Structure 1
Amino acid sequence: MAIGALKENHHMAYIFLVQMDIPAEHEAEFNRIYDEEHVPLIVQVPGCTACSRYKLEHSAQDDTAKYLAIYELETPDVPDTAAWKAASDTGLWKPMIRPHTTNRRHSVFQRIAGTVHSPATT
């Protein structure tokens, strides 16, 4: 399935992966501010349609960050916009959480194929 077809079907053609670690003593506040303030601000940015967050269960790499956010984007440049920066710098995230984050990684991926589901079990 071509990317153009994905866009026509309203499936996001890009995702922005944000990975990071936070010291244990800041973890509760990190999750509260991320969920209650940061994500709701970011998903209001034009071109960002959704966000899902994950916590690492296990990895084959020792340096994999503990937290992952996946933002669904309409275009790959959304995280570089003034609106994204403004939303990212608003509220408690920038002064209270960002200084404590480590192992930060940011990556934009383009969708190249549709979702394949396993057959339903009967």
Structure 2
Amino acid sequence: MHIDSAADSSPAKPVWLFELPGIRWDESDALRARQQLSDLDLDVLTAVSEEETWIYAPAQHRRATEKSDESQLLLATMLGADINALPGYRHRSLDRLLSLGDVTAGRRQPWHYTSQTDIPEHVENEFNRWFDEEHLPQLAGVDGTMHAARYRTNGSPRYIACYDLEQREIQGGPAWRTAIATPWRDRIHKEFLKPRRLMLKRL
């Protein structure tokens, strides 16, 4: 299926990303978290190659995204744990820069591929132009990529891109490799700092 790669111009809602290294949830864990916070639309995923769980949650208030006590309370509620006995985790707020494709269809896909990096200040403007004008649109146009989005975070790595896929093999497949094989990508890619890529399975 080939998606409509029109940009989503609707107002972006603030999002929290919780990363739990060393913890691999299953479907029952995800169900428990959703039951604990039934008023929030949680997107729960577990990494394929690492022991790690990710949770995207809508931020209730913009100011709250900067308060660690708010994130601790939310995670404690999801885990059904005491706030003073939380496992190690990372928390970042995400500001959406660009969204392509169908968000709702994307949330129904089993695979969620992510790529994140910091970037030197002297090439940051070009990095953002490359991502918006070439990289994200070309990957969003690969058959089986139902939704693609990129965000600026309040932590490190500063930029994260996400792709909701019908099949895991789409990432790295022939069409994917063709989409990323450009001179502009080769030039910008050399400037990446602390890049990290992770395939996750949606629960």
> TM-score, normalised to structure 1's length?
0.74
- Paired position in structure 1 for 2:170: 78
SS in 2 for 1:12: coil
Identity of aligned residues (%): 30
Kept after mapping to 2: 8 A contact 1:51/1:70: yes
SS in 1 for 2:132: helix
Kept after mapping to 2: 8 A contact 1:14/1:108: yes
Kept after mapping to 2: 8 A contact 1:37/1:91: no
SS in 2 for 1:77: helix
SS in 2 for 1:107: strand
> How far apart are residue 91 of structure 1 and its match?
5.0
Equivalent residues in 2 for 1:1-122, closer than 5 Å: 10=105, 11-58=108-155, 64-94=156-186, 96-112=187-203
Which amino acid letter does the alignment assign opposite residue 200 of structure 2? F
- Distance change >3 Å, CA 37–CA 91, structure 1 → 2: farther
Which amino acid letter does the alignment assign opposite residue 168 of structure 2? P
CA distances 1:25-44 after superposition (whole Å, capped 9, x unpaired): 00000001101111111111
Whichever structure has more strand as a proportion of its residues is: 2
**Greater CA radius of gyration, 1 or 2?**
2
Which amino acid letter does the alignment assign opposite residue 120 of structure 2? P
- 2-structure distance, mates of 1:69, 1:25: 20
> TM-score, normalised to structure 2's length?
0.46
Aligned length: 99
- 2-structure distance, mates of 1:109, 1:41: 21
SS in 2 for 1:108: strand
Which amino acid letter does the alignment assign opposite residue 80 of structure 1? G
Q: After TM superposition, which residue ranges in structure 1, 4 or more long, deviate above 3 angstroms? A: none
> How far apart are residue 80 of structure 1 and its match?
1.8
CA distances 1:71-99 after superposition (whole Å, capped 9, x unpaired): 111111211201111101135122x2111
Which amino acid letter does the alignment assign opposite residue 52 of structure 1? A
SS in 2 for 1:80: coil
